Chain A
Amino acid sequence: MKSRFASLVILNIQSAFSLSLPSWQEFKKPKTLLKTIGIGVGAILLLADVGMVFVLNSQAMYKALKPVGLEQMLFLFTATMATVFIFVLSFTMALSLFSSSGIDSGFLVLPFKPHEMLAAKMGLVYFANALLGIFLMLITTIVYGIHEHPPFQFYLYGLLSALAIPIIPIGISYLILIPLMRVSSIFRNKNFIFYLAGFIGVGLALAFNFYIQSTMSQMQDPGFFANFSDPESLISRIGQAWIPSWLTWKALSDADRLWGALAVLGNLALGVAVAALIALAMGKPYVRCIQIFGETSLTRAKKGAARRAEKESRTARRPLASLLLRELRLMNREPSYFINGPFIVVLMPVLLVVIFAAQRSSLEEVMAMLGPLMEGPAGYLVPAAFGAFLGSSTSIACTAISRDAKALPWIRALPIRPLEYFGAKLLHAEIFTLWGMLIGCGAGWLLFKTSAFDLVLAAILSLLVSTAFNMGGLWLDTAFPRLKWDNPIAAMKQNLNAVIVILGVMGIIVALGAISFFTSLPRNVYALVYGAIFFGFILVWIKVYPPYAQKRLAKME
């Protein structure tokens, strides 16, 4: 029989990650098999991509530190960097988990002690973050191991240290969050949590991107890593002051001595002791947070609000306008939809600014070299590609039906023309097509001083490509909508249609870029040819999609 605590941790993990593989019977279906292989390959590529960055990083740092005999500083650096990453991620995850306090409140009637409930939640956060810790430490130990051939215990201590590193950052996350939840009602608001967690995630992604970009640009400079890992550098000083990092450093540096074993055991014991103390001390306040979380006080009408309600009921709109307004409200008021959808159009330009800032000197050289190229068709194709990518990457059209899954019976019982229903979805996506086009052309004008004629060509191409992709995405989601989900994130972020469309846009843009580069047609013929292809698709869509969508909507169950 499992202990209450272990049962709760397992339940938390199962419910948070919904870990399940298709059965053997299901694998026999080509669709399931293909989907599983696709997800597996995607996950491996993603891990390999991120892992490669850290491998290169560790390798360069080792080479920079070895000549001065400080190669073991690599462990201190990795442990500290992993701690910072894990702290930000665990803080965000712990914050997000408070939004499910409604479900957790169900456990309050079961015989759990407060500290068991908190520790079980910390166990869930630990499960996710320990994997990251192991991933980062594994890379460093392997890179170091290839060069130095350390004893077996080195790898064992690396693994145990990786397991110890996340414990205290997770405890600290709860130590900060629980008092915040208790004293501030704004932190007990689900929307606020979603937005804050989303923005922290975006901030982390930007910071990570900046770090990767600036590291990559200076990978060839050995002095850069030497400075970075200098014992007097900030990260080294933080590392030495943070006992778990220091213990990791000592454990791996002295893996063949007793001192190494003591350091790794001490690291684990310290982590468990701190976590246990936090769980014991904060258990009751945590349970109180769950009890009071999401307490909603219904706002009775104030004068202003009542006037607005009155005004709203005095405005009769056409069904299409009303459907579009409903789309906009439902999308932008649901944080998980907004952050993973329309917000992308804001995020992508910011990301590019970050890349530009991080690699400014090398990018300026590249742009100077691009000068002659931009005299050719690239002058309008580059801004058009940027605008088209932005305009089609909001996932609005390709998740349109999936997001409405729960409302479909209600929608279909209303006298709504299917054409207006789908039209409102497409119009919603097209608002961002316009926005993407404006940013794409604006970037072209700012960075490359694109001429007015080229900007017009870029604008038309951008609109045609984005519109075609939005139409294609809507078609895809009409044909294969995700109709069963418990969490809105599943309809948007975890929707395969969104992945297909974003990868499709990227693939087509890269393919057209390659064709344009390796062929030599007259300058403006590319605009004519590409424009005609996408315009042709739009015409086919207008002819074929509406009757198909009407029939498909009626058949959806």
Chain B
Amino acid sequence: MIELFNISKTYAKSDRKAVDSLSLKIPDGKIFGFLGPNGAGKTTTIRVFCGALEPDSGTVLIDGIPMAERPLEAKRHLGLVHDNPELFNRLKANEYLNFVADVFGISAEERRLRIQEYSGRFGLADVLSASIGGFSRGMKQKLGVIASLIHDPSNWVLDEPMVGLDPQSAFELKEIMRQRTKAGRCVFFSTHVMEVAEKVCDELAIIDKGKIIFTGTIDALRRRREGVEGRKGAEEESLERLFLELVDSSRGETT
């Protein structure tokens, strides 16, 4: 479980809060979607609760472990797929995976089995000895997914994971998400693709200008629109439309 309490973050070279008093509880056993327009603060939020960025204020708890006080322990409970897979092009795929396994202290046998399993599922088994520089974007993304699962984390965080994935791999990824939540793990992912969020998410949060403007299920979002605007038939509307209306009305309120 991931819990964020009143998180704020302003970058040193900016006078605008990238994340503003954000609180969020991401429960175990659910696929939690994180939606928002470009520049809304999704990646900043993810980086803050994964320990890659220090918040100006607020508390992050990973499975009840405070990130600020016990960062190493908290990070061991997290697996993160970054938004940018263009890292370490000079390393070979197996060197990269083994580095991550070493850092998480995974035994040789355990890592061998996991690499075998996930590289098989994502079709990377026979390119593990190749240099990452020769991989396509999608292959790098899949490698990042495998690296994030090598220590079997209780909280799996994915920042825009579907970008560049072929349909087969996207299907595998969604399958793994479902398997993990069935096993009581927490899955959190950010996306721009509304269809994916609509089909996969059990719950979602929508962020705009660093603030959470909605948290709950898609049905709750539909009901809310019905309630606010007194409209009938909102249950028929797509998440995309609901999302756009919500962001528009949120911006209208702030201006």
Hey, which bits of chain A sit against chain B, CB under 8 A? 296-301, 305-306, 308-310, 312-319, 321-323, 325-326, 329-330, 333-334, 406-410, 412-417, 554-555, 557
B115 and A313 within 8 A (CB): yes
Question: Assuming A315-B108, A318-B102, A414-B100, is B47 touching A308 (CB within 8 A)?
Answer: no
The contact sample of 20 A-B pairs, CB cut-off 8 A, is: A297-B134, A298-B130, A299-B130, A300-B126, A301-B129, A312-B95, A313-B108, A322-B103, A326-B91, A329-B91, A330-B91, A333-B90, A406-B86, A406-B87, A410-B82, A412-B52, A415-B73, A416-B72, A554-B54, A557-B11
Query: Bound state CA distance, A407 and B90, in angstroms?
Result: 13
B111 at the interface (CB under 8 A from A): yes
Give Cα A408–Cα B75 distance, bound, in whole angstroms. 15
* A305 and B129 contacting across the interface, CB-CB below 8 Å: yes
Which residues 83-99 in B have Cβ within 8 Å of A in the complex?
Answer: 84, 86-88, 90-95, 97-99
Q: Check B107–A415 contact: CB distance below 8 A.
A: no
Picked from A301, A306, A314, the residue with its CB within 8 Å of the CB of B108 is: A314
A409 touches B115 (CB 8 A): no
Total interface residues on B, CB under 8 Å, equals 51
13 additional contacts (CB under 8 A) given A300-B126, A319-B105, A413-B80: A297-B134, A298-B134, A305-B129, A312-B94, A313-B94, A314-B112, A316-B108, A325-B99, A406-B86, A409-B52, A412-B51, A415-B75, A416-B72
> Which single member of A312, A318, A415 contacts B72 (CB below 8 Å)?
A415
Chain B residues with CB below 8 A from A309, complex form: 92-94, 128-129
Given A413-B78, A414-B75, A316-B106 contact (CB < 8 Å): yes
**Chain A residues in 8 Å Cβ range of B99:** 322-323, 325-326
Q: How far is the CB of A318 from chain B (nearest CB, A)?
A: 7
In the bound complex, CA of A330 to CA of B90 (Å): 6
The contact string, 1 if C-beta is below 8 Å from chain A, for chain B 177-212, is 000000000000000000000000000000000000
CB distance from B157 to the nearest CB of A (A): 9
- Max chain A C-beta neighbours (<10 A), residue from B97, B105, B129: B129
Query: In whole angstroms, how far apart are the Cα atoms of A397 and B196 in the complex?
Result: 45
Interface of A is mostly: helix
Does B90 contact A329, Cβ atoms closer than 8 Å? Answer: yes
Are A415 and B104 neighbours in the complex by a CB distance under 8 Å? yes
- Cβ distance B1 to chain A, nearest Cβ, rounded Å: 18
Determine how close the nearest CB of chain B comes to the CB of A189; give it in whole angstroms: 11
Known contacts A305-B129, A308-B129; decide if A298 and B106 are in contact (CB<8 Å). no
Q: Is the C-beta of B101 less than 8 angstroms from some C-beta in chain A?
A: yes
B50 within 8 A of A: yes
- Chain A residues lying within 8 Å of B104, measured Cβ to Cβ, are 414-415
Determine if A300 and B91 form an interchain contact, defined as CB atoms under 8 angstroms apart. Answer: no
By a CB distance below 8 angstroms, the chain A residues around B73 are 415
Contacts of A557 in B (CB 8 A): 11-13, 53
CB distance from B186 to the nearest CB of A (A): 16
Asked whether, in the complex, the Cβ of A301 is within 8 Å of the Cβ of B128, the reply is yes
| Docked pose: A459 CA to B11 CA in angstroms | 47
> How far, in Å, is B104 (CB) from chain A's closest CB?
7
Contact yes or no, A334 B90, CB < 8 A: yes
B103 touches A416 (CB 8 A): yes
A524 to B99, CA, bound (A): 47
Residues of the B chain whose Cβ atoms lie less than 8 Å from the Cβ of A305: 129-130
Residues from chain B with Cβ under 8 Å of A316 in the complex: 101-102, 105-108, 111
Q: How far is the CB of A26 from chain B (nearest CB, A)?
A: 13
Of all chain A residues, the one with the shortest Cβ separation from B157 is: A413
Q: Which residues of A contact B52 (CB under 8 A)?
A: 408-410, 412-413
CA distance A333 to B92 in the complex (A): 11
Complex: A410 Cα to B86 Cα, angstroms? 11
Query: Contacts of A312 on B, CB cut-off 8 Å?
Result: 94-95, 98
Please tell me if the beta carbons of B134 and A299 are within 8 angstroms of each other in the complex: yes
On chain B, the residues within 8 Å of A555 by CB distance are 54
Q: Are A313 and B111 in contact (CB under 8 A)?
A: yes
B121 within 8 A of partner (CB) = no
Q: Are B75 and A413 in contact (CB under 8 A)?
A: yes
